[in-house]
Each structure stands twice: as C-alpha cells, then as structure tokens.
Structure 1
Amino acid sequence: MGVETQYVDTYELTRLGQEVHGQAPIARFERLTEDLPQQLDTMVSWSLRGMQDTTGRHFLRVHVKASPTLECQRCLKPFQWPVDSTNRLQVVKSQAALEDEDVLDAESDDIIERIVGSQRLDVLELVEDEIILGLPYVPKHDVCPSLPEPLAQEPDADPGRPSPFAALGQLKKD
C-alpha cells in the first residue's frame, strides 16, 4: 500500500503486517543536508514494513535508498554516496522498555535496536535517521579523480631521494 502521508500508526502497522512506501526529495531532509554541499535534485526511496515474531514482539523493517552528495575530505570535490540500508527495529510501548537489558537478534547476533511505538510516527524523520547513520564519518572517494600531483604520489615514490632516516642511521653507527 503506497502512502502519501508521512505519519503512520506503528501499532496498527505491526499488528496487521502492513507495508508503506514512498519517495521524498532529498532537500526535504534538513538535518541531513544542513552541513552537506549543494544537493542534486535526487529522491529518497523508502519502505516500512510491520511484522511480529513468534513471541509476539513487534518490529518495523525500514529500507532506505538515497544518494546524498558529500565532500571528499581528501580532494575536496563533491561525490555521490549511495545509501542502501535495511534495518529492523523493535517497537516497544514505553520509554522504560527502551532502557531494558539489550536483547540479541537470533538471526544476526546484533543487539536489537528499539523505538517507542506511536500512533503518529513521523516516517520521514525515521528515514532521515537511517540515512544519517549510513554516512561515513570521514567521506572520501575510493580513488580521487583529481588529486594534486604531490598528493597522488606515494611518500617514498622517488627512488633517487634518500630516506630522511638514513642520515640518522649513519649517526647511530658512529
């Protein structure tokens, strides 16, 4: 079921096993884009599926696809960072349940992340959180397309130049 609204009832979604999905322009996500370079006019796709396990716990499976523009910290050029994230969140009924002892996911041995359920959950805020969590701490190209020549060379790339530590080695021998 497609949905135009950005709010969902997590209790109903998980109880009925429903799915909602949609798209939004990346510019809509102000917390994400406020410290990033100018964004291309791209869309963020998302889906949210409710489910229950055999013990009656309620979960949301969040899937997000986006390509925010980041600035490479090596060459300072903008580049697209693909985010394709799927996360499973346990829906709990209270803040106190969030603070209960961590539970491991039987499928992956990861700690199950939890959110407090709501009759009016802001889906786009949840999607924005997932994108932000998918960004690298220090964004950089795998191989920068336009590094200045001195940075492109390896530090000891000049075989004719002696190591600065060779002179120290001579002093130590004397």
Structure 2
Amino acid sequence: MDIQYVDTYELTRAGQEVHGQAPIDQFERLIEDLPEQADTMVSWTVKGEMDSFGQRFLRVHVKAAPMLECQRCMKPFEWPVDSHNRLEVVNSEAALNVDDAADADPDDAIIERILGSQRLDVLALVEDEIILSLPYVPKHDVCTLLSEPLEEEPDGDLARPSPFAVLGQLKKD
C-alpha cells in the first residue's frame, strides 16, 4: 500500500490501520550523514485507537536495517530497527506541552504526543521513529574487522607510571 498522508482523527476514530513499505533512500534526513545504504526497504504500520476517555492514540511499528559506521573500526554495519511506539494524538499545540510527569505513576511510561492532523505525513513519522532508534555512537558489539584486539589497561605492578609521579618527587625534595 502506497500511503503518504493520513487523517489522524479518522484513523483513530475508526480504529483503522495503514501499512506500507518504502526504500530506505527515500528518507533523506535519515541517510544524509550515514554511509551508502543497501537497497533495503523500510516496513511500517500505523494503527489508530481511541480509549474510553476519548483520548486518541497511534501505534507505530517500524522495521528497518540502516547501514551505520562503527566508531571503533570505521567499517559499515547493519543496525536492525524494530521500533514499537504509542503516541497520543492531541488537538492543540498547548496540549503538546502539558506536563503529566507530576501526576503520572512512576511505573507508567510517559507517552509522547503529536499534534493531530487531517494530513499527517506518515513517512516523516516513520523516519522520525528510525532516527530516534539509532545509537548516539554506533559500534559493533564486537569489532571482528579490527586486525588487533583493543588493548586493555594493564593491572597492578605492570601499569604505566602516573604522569604525576614526577610531581610527587618534587614534593619530597
């Protein structure tokens, strides 16, 4: 299904679901600082729902596999993204900034809000979900591409002398 825009009010009122796929290179903000991307697809599902209090929500599920650059070995690697998020749809910008943290149960997750629209750009929402799922400093769990393992700091008597040891000698004199 090739859907670009949805009416969040109708989607949540009717409990509808939309889904689709798009090539990863269609998400320009996502890939602008990333290494060259493979011909992978991004899959997404957006489902509207309304609770018994009339609150509107979107459940967003995104699957993607962007190529990132490991900051240890500087080699590209695939980062699997399987993001599930629930967003509250609000009617005004003032409602976006309401602080529910004081009233919220500490065990409950704080729900993010988006402004409802009759023309929500689904692909921009999907792109935001992927961007938020990326690590701040991407790296392999284990860099198998390094020719030598990363050196560990030696322990005990084999440790390098402190650069401040010279100052200790001056103090004794």
**Is residue 52 of structure 2 the alignment partner of residue 68 of structure 1?**
no
Q: Quick one: distance in 1 between partners of 2:134 and 2:162?
A: 42
**Structure 1 pair 90–81 and aligned structure 2 pair: CA distance change class (3 A):** same
Q: Which residue identity is paired with 2:159? A: S
In the other structure, the counterpart of 1:120 is 119
* CA displacement 1:116-140 (0-9 Å, x = unmatched): 1011100000000000000000000
Q: Does 2:160 align with 1:164?
A: yes
Amino acid at match of 1:116: L
Q: Which residue of 2 is the match for residue 109 of structure 1? A: 108
Secondary structure (helix, strand or coil) at the match of 1:86 reads: strand
Choose from 1, 11, 14 the match for 1:13: 11
Q: Percent identity?
A: 65
1:25 aligned residue: 23
CA distance in 1, matches of 2:104, 2:91: 19
**Per-residue deviation at 1:166?**
8.1
Query: RMSD of the alignment, in Å?
Result: 2.6
Render the CA deviation track for 1:34-70: whole Å, top value 9, x for unaligned: 0000000000000000001121100000000000000
How many equivalent pairs are there? 169
TM-aligned CA distance change 1:39 to 1:156, over 3 Å: same
**Which residue number in structure 2 is paired with residue 50 of structure 1?**
48
Confirm or deny: 8 A CA contact 2:73 2:145 kept in the other structure.
Answer: yes
* TM-score for both structures, normalised by structure 1: 0.87
Alpha-carbon distance change, 23 to 98 in structure 1, aligned in 2, over 3 angstroms: same
Give me the TM-score of the superposition, normalised by structure 2: 0.87
Query: Alpha-carbon deviations, 1:5-46, whole Å to 9, x = none?
Result: 210000000000000000000000000000000000000000
- Contact conserved, 1:43 with 1:66, CA < 8 A, in 2? yes
Please list every run of 5 or more consecutive structure 2 residues that lacks an aligned counterpart in the other structure. none
